[in-house]
Each structure stands twice: as structure tokens, then as C-alpha cells.
């Protein structure tokens, strides 16, 4: 059998294939999958995490990319978040995007343009359980839905409706901040003031990012 014989060439190709195996779909990062989104049907992406982990920045980055691709984008956020300018979602690092302030989850559908392809929702933890069905209907109608929200409250308890949204989402991103105490990845939001309210609006000075070891759940039980 000579070097140029078909069977030898076949063996070479086989060896090359074995030495560079394709990455299984399940092992690819969400970012890789995001570059090949589903065609012809909608889907839900959830960006969940603690404070200072970059949720809003991740949301703005994805929405901006969609806008650059000339897709029709609408962005919504609940009225409770009035830390910065009212008509924008703004990240801690001052990235911002024009948005519509809503009082209830179903305001999204009431104000939705028929041609909108991508729907961004920030601070979803303030929109109650109704946001789950709204997201399902938006995705069922063929739209890409990108939802960002705080997945744990100041006691480290799951913050509804984020657990339900995480369960129904096709894609999940959980960015972590950096623990202010020890520098490890931080998945918790440490409250620094004494308050029994589940929500204290604002972030700088009121909360800091902490890891599991450095996080201290607030000793005061909430009154509601
Ligand atoms: Zn730590």
C-alpha cells in the first residue's frame, strides 16, 4: 500500500478528526450558543445575580448588539427603580439605554409595538409573578426576551419571580461580582444598613458584594 492510496489518506483524516474533537453543544458556553440563536421562534434569556455583578451592563450590551443589527428593540423597567434618569436603564458604570418605565408587568404587552423583535426587561424582581406569563407570551409570539434581575434578597433568599424565570429560560447567565472583603467571586448582596424592608432602593453605600463565606444575612426578620 503506497502513501497515496485512498485508505492511507482516510486514516490521516480520521486521526486529525480524533485529535480535534468537536465541542459537544452541552459544553459550549452560553455566549457561544448565543451567537447561534434559535431561528423562527422566540426564547427567553435571563441574566440573574447579586448587586454589582454587571447584570444591567450585560443587558445593555445585548440590546445594543441587537440595535446595531437593526432589530426592533423595546426596553422596560419598573417604576420603583428611580436611582438615575427615569427614561433610561443605567448600569453602575453609566452605560445607558432609552427605556419605558412601567407600573405593572402587563404594561409591557399594552405598550408593545407589533414589529418589536427583542424585548429587554430590567429589575424583573420588582414586577411580581405576572412577569412570568408575560415573558412566556412574548417568547411564544416569536420574540427574543432578555430579562435581568436580582436573584436573591438581602437575606440570601431567592427573590421571586427570578427562580421561576430561571426555570423557564432557554439561556441563563449568572455573572458574579467580586467580594469586597476577600476578593473571591461574590454571589450575595450584603446589606450594610439596618432595615426590615425587603427592598431598599439604591446600591452604593447601602449594599456591597460578598462571597458565601463573608456574607452575613441580616439578623432582623422582615416584617412583611
Ligand atoms: Zn469573601
The predicted-structure confidence for 179-190, as pLDDT tens digits, reads as follows 999 999 999 999
Please state, in angstroms and rounded to a whole number, the distance separating the CA atoms of residues 133 and 84: 28
Distance 27 CA to ligand 1 centre (A): 28
Confidence (pLDDT) at 194: 77
The CA 45 to ligand 1 mean position distance, Å, reads 28
- In angstroms, the CA 102 to CA 172 distance is 24
- Total domain count, the chain: 1
Residue 57 lies in a domain: yes
Evaluate whether 71 touches 64 at the Cβ level (below 8 Å).
no
Question: Is 165 part of any domain?
Answer: yes
Distance 142 CA to ligand 1 centre (A): 42
179 close to 173: Cβ distance less than 8 angstroms? no
Domain-embedded: residue 111: yes
Predicted confidence band at 63 (pLDDT cuts at 50, 70, 90)? very high
Identify the H or E element spanning 118. strand 118-121
Residue 221, in any domain of the structure: no
Residue 204 lies in a domain: no
* Residue 66 within a domain: yes
The CA-atom distances, in angstroms, between 68 and each of 71, 94, 123, 169 are 7, 19, 24, 24
Ligand 1 center to 208 CA (angstroms): 11
29, 32, 171 from 24: Cα distances, Å? 11, 12, 16
Choose the catalytic residue: 85, 123, 160, 221: 123
Please state the rounded mean pLDDT for residues 28-37: 55
* CB neighbour class for 157 (10 Å; exposed up to 12, middle 13-18, buried from 19): exposed
pLDDT digits (tens, 9 = 90+) for 123-162: 999 999 999 999 999 999 999 999 999 999 989 999 999 9
- Taking the centre of ligand 1 as the mean of its atom positions, its distance from the CA of residue 31, in whole angstroms, is 27
pLDDT attached to residue 21? 46
Residue 162 belongs to a domain: yes
| Cell numbers representing residue 32 in the block | 457561544
Give pTM, 2 decimals: 0.77
Q: Strands 188-191, 185-186: parallel, antiparallel or unpaired by DSSP?
A: unpaired
- Looking at per-residue pLDDT, the higher value among 38 and 34 belongs to 38
In terms of Cβ atoms closer than 10 Å to its own Cβ (0-12, 13-18, 19+), residue 140 is exposed
Residue 180 alpha carbon to ligand 1 centre in Å: 7
User: What confidence tier does 163 reach under pLDDT thresholds 50, 70, 90?
Assistant: very high
Domain of residue 140 covers: 29-175
CATH of the domain at 79: 3.40.50.300
Q: What's the CA-to-centroid distance between 48 and ligand 1, angstroms?
A: 19
Least confident of 41-50, 114-123, 129-138, 204-213: 204-213
Tell which residue, 114, 113, 144, 110, has the closest CA to residue 130.
110
Q: Is 170 a catalytic residue?
A: no
Q: Please tell me the distance between residue 152's alpha carbon and the centre of ligand 1 in angstroms.
A: 17
The three grid cell numbers given for residue 185, joined into one nine-digit string: 467571586
Whether 84 maps to a domain, the answer reads yes
65-82 pLDDT per residue, tens: 999 999 999 999 998 755
Amino acid at each position: 500500500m503506497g502513501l497515496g492510496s485512498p485508505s492511507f489518506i482516510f486514516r490521516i483524516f480520521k486521526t486529525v478528526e480524533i485529535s480535534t474533537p468537536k465541542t459537544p453543544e452541552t459544553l459550549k458556553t452560553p455566549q457561544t450558543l448565543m451567537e447561534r440563536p434559535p431561528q423562527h421562534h422566540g426564547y427567553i434569556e435571563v441574566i440573574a445575580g447579586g448587586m454589582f455583578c454587571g447584570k444591567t451592563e450585560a443587558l445593555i450590551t445585548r440590546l445594543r448588539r441587537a440595535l446595531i443589527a437593526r432589530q426592533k428593540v423595546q426596553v422596560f423597567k419598573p417604576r420603583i427603580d428611580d436611582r438615575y434618569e427615569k427614561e433610561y436603564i443605567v448600569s453602575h458604570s453609566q452605560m445607558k439605554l432609552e427605556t419605558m418605565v412601567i407600573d405593572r408587568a402587563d404594561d409591557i404587552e399594552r405598550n408593545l409595538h407589533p414589529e418589536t423583535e427583542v424585548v429587554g426587561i430590567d429589575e424583573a424582581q420588582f414586577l411580581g409573578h405576572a412577569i412570568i406569563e408575560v415573558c412566556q407570551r412574548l417568547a411564544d409570539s416569536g420574540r427574543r426576551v432578555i430579562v435581568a434581575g436580582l436573584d436573591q434578597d438581602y437575606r440570601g433568599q431567592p427573590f421571586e419571580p427570578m427562580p421561576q424565570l430561571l426555570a423557564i429560560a432557554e439561556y441563563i447567565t449568572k455573572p458574579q461580582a467580586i467580594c469586597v472583603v476577600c476578593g473571591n467571586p461574590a454571589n450575595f448582596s450584603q446589606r450594610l444598613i439596618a432595615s426590615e424592608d425587603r427592598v431598599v432602593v439604591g446600591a452604593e453605600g447601602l449594599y456591597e458584594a460578598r462571597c458565601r463565606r463573608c456574607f452575613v444575612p441580616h439578623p432582623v426578620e422582615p416584617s412583611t
